[in-house]
Structure 1
Amino acid sequence: MANFRLQPTQLPFLDNVCILEAVDQSSASIQLNAQHKLLVKAVGYHLHPTIIQPHLPAEPKVADLGAGTGTFLVDIANQYPSTAQFDGYDISDVAWLPPTERPANVTLHLTNCKKPPPPALHGAYDLVTLRFLNSGMGIEDWHPRASHAFQLLKPGGALQWIEANFAQVLPILQSHPDAVTSASEKGTVRAMHESPHTDWFVANLPPILDSLGFHGIKQNVTRTDRLPETRAELSRLFFGALYGILRRMAASGRKDAWTLEEAEEIYAEMLREVDAGAYVTCDLHQFFAFKPL
């Protein structure tokens, strides 16, 4: 396993920001687990109930690329026998759930997917999942990620890949007419300028999957504001991610960056606007595909 290293998840929907801003392993895990629960609610499932679940064997082997805390795999493992196998791969172990909080059949690996998986892992998994890697992906990264997933799958294996289209986060919305959004829009525009091409995957990932030989390719779309009760907390998490970007820009000493004090001020105002009814929403694109038998 030492040679199989996955691409770092730099700014997947809040993940890396939470890790970088957290002061210790416990706080990083808490933030990522809160994010995980909210995003599962927004999507509506862990594994798609009609496209993916019926396709899996009774004791599946599952790989999660960009596993974060490992909570996603733990949740899935609890739905299957202890003889199923769940492997999570991530660039950092800072937020991993401790072994005492993971079933014995959930294993986490320090990895970096710039390099392809070793031959020993080719055809090893019934399902490969990827989630919320978009912000850390350049245009050149999508094909290798998809290719590595294809290599990991058994013949007939399934791919589930979920991404957020951050290009849609503006305008900031209001839950009632008198909510103010000026600070939220200003902070979002400034931070998201650092993450171009965040909607490139929408039109281009399906052709990439097709070119690799996947078949049965499907794409579903939901929105993060699907459940009104999650809008405020998802917005706070998203703005926390943007604040992390603004802080790193300030620390870089760039002439075009806000100062740390300016970043703190705009972030505090963004949170006040959320409390008053402003919220962020974007599309969640879910891609499903299968490796031929």
Structure 2
Amino acid sequence: MASKDEYVFTRDFQDNTRIWLLDVHDKLKDAQLDGFDVSLDAAPPSQILPSRVTLRHWNVKESVPEDLIGVYDIVHVRFLAYVLLNDEIPELVAKLFSLLKPGGYIQWGEADIQTLRVDKSTPDGSTERTTELYNLLAIQDPRLKPYWIAKLLELLADGGFVEIEKDSQDAPPHLAFILHEAGLMIHELIARKTKNEHMARELKRLLPAVVEETRQGSYATSLRYTVIGKKP
């Protein structure tokens, strides 16, 4: 939901493989499902979307469109960790609050990058290059090291939500490994998109070594947060 220039990833076939609404569509048979993003370049053609799914342009750094205020029973938010800076979150919470009807719910899911660690499935597995890779990202771009995720419960409470619940869990090792492998493409996307030449060179240097460490059973993982809250 950042502007195209600020988005840390690319907008192409590699970056387009995640549309949560289509998963939900198969589970909620009667719901109207609306998706919002600053760019629809990553979306399928509107002509092939299910009839109950619509996609619409909205930059969350701009005002909420008047026709969306108080419209939704549920607002689902995910994966803004790499998009917004820490001090931008309270204003976003206020905007999401305004989207909901009274009695509506927010559901927000994020991976807590602050808790990121590198595990290994065998005692002699190497984790050096994988650790170096994630340290590089944290140093080079503040969006890649957000600290607001662990504070989501407090941020929602400050924004007027009630009956707030937070769940934080480690993924089981077999899923954590799969998520790690899927996430490796993120670093390739950043290497192609970044204007930081040093970062691009380092990512290209590190990625083959990280892939080899992954083959040996090493993987990065972190806590995953889900927070829900109700608009009074």
Residue 88 of structure 2 is matched in structure 1 by 141
Residue 97 of structure 2 is matched in structure 1 by 150
- 1:268: Cα distance to partner? 0.6
- 1:97: Cα distance to partner? 2.4
How is 1:27-176 mapped onto 2 (pairs within 5 angstroms)? Answer: 27-29=14-16, 32-33=17-18, 71-82=19-30, 84-170=31-117, 172-176=118-122
Q: Report the Cα distance in structure 1 between the residues aligned to 2:14 and 2:148, rounded to whole angstroms.
A: 32
Q: Report the Cα distance in structure 2 between the residues aligned to 1:191 and 1:289, rounded to whole angstroms.
A: 31
So what's the TM-score if we normalise by structure 2? 0.88
Change (3 A) 1:193 1:149: same
Q: Deviations over 1:28-52 (max 9, x none)?
A: 33xx23xxxxxxxxxxxxxxxxxxx
How many residue pairs were aligned? 229
User: Are the counterparts in 2 of residues 8 and 113 from structure 1 also a CA contact under 8 Å?
Assistant: no
Q: Report the Cα distance in structure 1 between the residues aligned to 2:161 and 2:76, rounded to whole angstroms.
A: 14
Alignment counterpart, residue 189 of structure 2, candidates 244, 263, 271:
244
User: Which one has the bigger strand percentage?
Assistant: 2
User: Are the counterparts in 1 of residues 119 and 219 from structure 2 also a CA contact under 8 Å?
Assistant: yes
So what's the TM-score if we normalise by structure 1? 0.71
Alignment counterpart, residue 186 of structure 1, candidates 132, 135, 138:
132
SS in 1 for 2:27: coil
Q: Report the Cα distance in structure 2 between the residues aligned to 1:81 and 1:239, rounded to whole angstroms.
A: 34
- 1:277: Cα distance to partner? 0.2
Q: Report the Cα distance in structure 1 between the residues aligned to 2:178 and 2:23, rounded to whole angstroms.
A: 21
User: Are the counterparts in 1 of residues 2 and 83 from structure 2 also a CA contact under 8 Å?
Assistant: no
Residue 60 of structure 1 is matched in structure 2 by none
Q: Give the gaps of 5 or more residues in structure 2.
A: none
Residue 174 of structure 2 is matched in structure 1 by 229
User: Are the counterparts in 2 of residues 165 and 284 from structure 1 also a CA contact under 8 Å?
Assistant: yes
User: For residue 212 of structure 2, what is the amino acid of its counterpart?
Assistant: R
Alignment counterpart, residue 146 of structure 2, candidates 174, 198, 201:
198
User: Are the counterparts in 1 of residues 140 and 199 from structure 2 also a CA contact under 8 Å?
Assistant: no
Q: Report the Cα distance in structure 1 between the residues aligned to 2:157 and 2:115, rounded to whole angstroms.
A: 26
Q: Report the Cα distance in structure 2 between the residues aligned to 1:258 and 1:74, rounded to whole angstroms.
A: 34
Q: Report the Cα distance in structure 2 between the residues aligned to 1:7 and 1:145, rounded to whole angstroms.
A: 12
- 1:188: Cα distance to partner? 1.3
- 1:118: Cα distance to partner? 2.4
RMSD: 2.3
- 1:291: Cα distance to partner? 0.5
How is 1:267-282 mapped onto 2 (pairs within 5 angstroms)? Answer: 267-282=207-222
Aligned-residue sequence identity (percent) comes to 25
- 1:8: Cα distance to partner? 4.4
